[in-house]
């Protein structure tokens, strides 16, 4: 294990975070009407000391990064980011470390669940940090650094492929750095467009930027307790729908679209399935709402019905987690549809959580092939995803991945039911799924108008780890708990 290169990369992460704290300090200075909060200076000082410590430990590091080191950097990098990101909550709000860590993890993993029932009392600098942490985590702390650390060369490909769930083979092996830079430039470009359109719809500059952070990253943190619904702005909601869909799409595929590789985009199985799910589920939710005729919907008001159903499907499928209304009060049939979107998530290579649409499509095709073999024992039929046939390793890995997810979520739900025995079954299940899939709001006690503040510290700690495991797609964090991972020789 090359510990020194690991310490160097952790040092870069700590450095980026204290630089981000300077931006929050500037925001606090601009909006502070009373005495400037000195908490940000403490946060900057602590994170600076950590970066100096890591760089000191990395002195003389050799530039060699193998698969084990890549996994270690990913796992430790997210834990370190979450720990440093929790400092402002502890220092400024004087809150519990468990609440601070939960909020920080929820930010960096772009989950959007909150341990605080009232976020409108936060100072502007902390609101800004809360949303910006999601923007940083959206494409992944490690991916940002893999793109700018030219000294790593081809090793950065390992970081990207393990963190992003995208197919790193689609990056040109001879131009990995430029490929990753292109992804970040696309991310920055979408961010600028999103902020512009939000501001154009009438939202002020501060809230436009904050909501841009959490929309492109599919995070869902808002500056209002009532989330996006507090603005009562249909144009803003439609703009958010568009950019949430983009945030949940494959960034590598968007690059190909910009390069006019239209045939590749049109043949992409995952993209077609992603768009079909959005249209189908939005239609079904709209039909159920129309039949139920809840308060606020009249038979002649079609646009609000389409908007609210599409918004909630898109925000939960892309695991953004905004809310324009309390869908907890909708008819039970809509709850089931929305719960399914929790589990599916967005596309691979996106900022979304969940099991990803590509795995869902592959699982369906693998199941259909298995059923066909029940009456055609000798048939050999390749399984195609995005125009490429899956090899035997992929075919076996996908069911294993989903099995581990189901077992992990089931065990976590059981633990939460033990830690907080007063929480309903629906609440326990939705809390587990929403944290693992990095969605944000759930049902019952954890609906869009509620928070996770009522949970015990043990449950908050477990859900924090579950958010990290879900964001890193199991292995990058779980391997850290395996003793054999840390042995010098395999």
Q: DSSP labels for 168-232?
A: GGGS-GGGHHHHHHHHHHHHHHHHHHHHHHHHHTT--HHHHHHHHHHHHTT----SSTTGGGGG-
| Domain assignment of residue 267, yes or no | no
State residue 200's pLDDT score: 95
Q: How many domains is the chain partitioned into structurally? A: 2
Does 295 or 352 have the greater pLDDT score? 352
Q: How does residue 148 score in pLDDT terms, banded at 50, 70 and 90?
A: very low
Q: How does residue 239 score in pLDDT terms, banded at 50, 70 and 90?
A: very high
Parallel, antiparallel or unpaired: strands 384-385 and 388-389: antiparallel
| Domain assignment of residue 363, yes or no | no
The kind and range of the H/E element at 385 are strand 384-385
Cβ atoms within 10 A of the Cβ of 432, count?
25
pLDDT score of 171 more than 70: no
| Domain assignment of residue 64, yes or no | yes
| Domain assignment of residue 328, yes or no | no
Return d(Cα 88, Cα 296) in angstroms, integer.
40
Asked if 127 and 210 touch (Cβ cutoff 8 Å), the reply is: yes
SS3 447: coil
pLDDT score of 300 more than 80: no
pLDDT score of 149 more than 50: no
pLDDT score of 174 more than 70: no
pLDDT score of 452 more than 90: yes
Return d(Cα 412, Cα 418) in angstroms, integer.
10
| Domain assignment of residue 368, yes or no | no
Residue 445's Cα: distance from chain center in Å?
A: 22
Asked if 123 and 91 touch (Cβ cutoff 8 Å), the reply is: no
Q: Average of pLDDT values for 405-417? A: 94
Average pLDDT, the chain: 85
pLDDT score of 177 more than 90: no
State residue 271's pLDDT score: 93
Cβ neighbors of 280 (< 8 A, separation 6 or more) are none
Return d(Cα 199, Cα 211) in angstroms, integer.
10
pLDDT score of 322 more than 90: yes
SS3 384: strand
Asked if 103 and 82 touch (Cβ cutoff 8 Å), the reply is: no
DSSP 237: H
Model confidence, pTM: 0.90
pLDDT cut 70: percent of the chain above it = 88
SS3 87: helix
- Max avg pLDDT among 210-219, 264-273, 470-479: 210-219
Crossing angle of helices 332-344 and 269-292, in 10° steps, is 160
Residue that finishes a domain, picked among 219, 251, 283: 251
Q: Average of pLDDT values for 313-326? A: 93
Residue that finishes a domain, picked among 201, 233, 251: 251
Q: How does residue 204 score in pLDDT terms, banded at 50, 70 and 90?
A: very high
DSSP 152: G
SS3 404: helix
State residue 176's pLDDT score: 60
pLDDT cut 90: percent of the chain above it = 51
Cβ atoms within 10 A of the Cβ of 429, count?
21
pLDDT score of 460 more than 50: yes
> What residues make up the domain containing 440?
393-486
CA atoms within 13 A on the CB side of 201: 22
State residue 366's pLDDT score: 85
Q: Average of pLDDT values for 464-478? A: 85
Cβ atoms within 10 A of the Cβ of 259, count?
11
Return d(Cα 327, Cα 468) in angstroms, integer.
26
Residue that finishes a domain, picked among 251, 272, 289: 251
Q: How many helices (H) and strands (E) does the chain have?
A: 20, 2
Q: Rounded to the nearest 10 degrees, how much is the dihedral formed by the CA atoms of 353, 43, 142, 103?
A: -10
pLDDT score of 21 more than 50: yes
Sign (positive or negative) of CA dihedral 417, 418, 420, 424: positive
Return d(Cα 44, Cα 431) in angstroms, integer.
33
Scan for tokens 């000798």, then name that residue: 378
State residue 143's pLDDT score: 65
Asked if 115 and 460 touch (Cβ cutoff 8 Å), the reply is: yes
Partner residues linked to 384 by β-bridges: 389
Cβ atoms within 10 A of the Cβ of 450, count?
18
State residue 101's pLDDT score: 96
| Domain assignment of residue 215, yes or no | yes
State residue 483's pLDDT score: 75
Residue 355's Cα: distance from chain center in Å?
A: 12
Return d(Cα 37, Cα 92) in angstroms, integer.
8
| Domain assignment of residue 111, yes or no | yes
- Max avg pLDDT among 58-72, 95-109, 370-384: 95-109
Scan for tokens 């590789």, then name that residue: 261
Q: How does residue 34 score in pLDDT terms, banded at 50, 70 and 90?
A: low
* Long-range contacts, 419-422 (Cβ 8 Å, 24+): 419/455, 419/456, 419/458, 419/459, 419/462, 420/454, 420/455, 420/456, 420/459
State residue 155's pLDDT score: 47
Q: Average of pLDDT values for 292-305? A: 67
Return d(Cα 398, Cα 359) in angstroms, integer.
7
Alpha helices in 293-331 (DSSP H): 302-317
State residue 151's pLDDT score: 42
The kind and range of the H/E element at 388 are strand 388-389
State residue 32's pLDDT score: 73
| Domain assignment of residue 258, yes or no | no
Residue 104's Cα: distance from chain center in Å?
A: 13
Q: Lowest-confidence range among 16-25, 110-119, 391-400? A: 391-400
Residue 219's Cα: distance from chain center in Å?
A: 6
Return d(Cα 305, Cα 283) in angstroms, integer.
10
């Amino acid at each position: 294990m090359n510990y020194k290169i690991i310490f160097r990369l952790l040092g870069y992460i700590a450095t980026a975070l204290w630089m981000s704290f300077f931006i929050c300090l500037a925001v606090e200075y601009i909006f502070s009407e009373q005495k400037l909060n000195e908490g940000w200076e403490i946060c900057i000082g602590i994170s600076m000391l950590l970066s100096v410590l890591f760089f000191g430990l990395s002195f003389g590091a050799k530039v060699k990064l193998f698969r084990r080191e890549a996994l270690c950097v990913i796992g430790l990098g997210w834990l370190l980011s979450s720990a440093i990101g929790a400092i402002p909550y502890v220092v400024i709000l004087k809150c519990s470390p468990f609440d601070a860590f939960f909020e920080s993890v929820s930010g960096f993993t772009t989950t959007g669940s909150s341990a605080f029932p009232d976020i409108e009392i936060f100072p502007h600098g902390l609101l800004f940090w809360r949303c910006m942490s999601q923007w940083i985590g959206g494409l992944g702390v490690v991916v940002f650094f893999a793109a700018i650390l030219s000294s790593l060369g081809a090793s950065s490909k390992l970081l990207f492929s393990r963190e992003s769930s995208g197919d790193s083979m689609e990056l040109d092996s001879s131009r990995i750095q430029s490929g990753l830079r292109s992804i970040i430039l696309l991310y920055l470009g979408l961010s600028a467009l999103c902020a512009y359109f939000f501001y154009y719809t009438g939202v002020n500059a501060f809230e436009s930027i904050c909501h841009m952070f959490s929309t492109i990253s599919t995070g869902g943190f808002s500056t209002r307790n009532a989330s996006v619904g507090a603005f009562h702005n249909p144009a803003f909601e439609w703009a958010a729908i568009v950019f949430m869909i983009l945030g949940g799409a494959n960034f590598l595929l968007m690059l190909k679209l910009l390069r006019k590789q239209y045939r590749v985009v049109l043949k992409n199985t995952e993209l077609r399935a992603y768009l079909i799910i959005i249209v189908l589920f939005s239609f079904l939710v709209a039909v159920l709402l129309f039949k139920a005729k809840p308060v606020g919907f009249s038979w002649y008001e079609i646009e609000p019905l389409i908007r609210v159903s599409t918004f909630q499907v898109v925000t939960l499928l892309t695991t953004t987690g905004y809310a324009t209304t309390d869908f907890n009060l909708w008819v039970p049939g809509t709850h089931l549809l929305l719960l399914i979107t929790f589990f599916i998530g967005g596309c691979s290579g996106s900022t979304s959580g969940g099991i990803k649409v590509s795995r869902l499509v592959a699982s369906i095709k693998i199941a259909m092939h298995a059923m066909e073999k029940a009456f055609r024992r000798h048939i050999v039929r390749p399984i195609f995803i995005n125009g490429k046939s899956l090899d035997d390793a992929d075919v076996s890995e996908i069911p294993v991945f989903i099995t581990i997810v189901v077992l992990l979520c089931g065990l976590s739900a059981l633990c939460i039911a033990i830690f907080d025995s007063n929480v309903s079954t629906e609440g326990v299940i939705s809390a587990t799924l929403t944290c693992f899939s990095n969605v944000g709001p759930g049902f019952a006690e954890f609906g869009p108008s509620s928070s996770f503040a009522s949970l015990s510290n043990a449950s908050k700690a477990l859900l924090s780890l579950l958010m990290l495991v879900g964001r890193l797609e199991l292995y990058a964090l779980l391997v850290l708990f395996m003793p054999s991972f840390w042995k010098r020789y395999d």
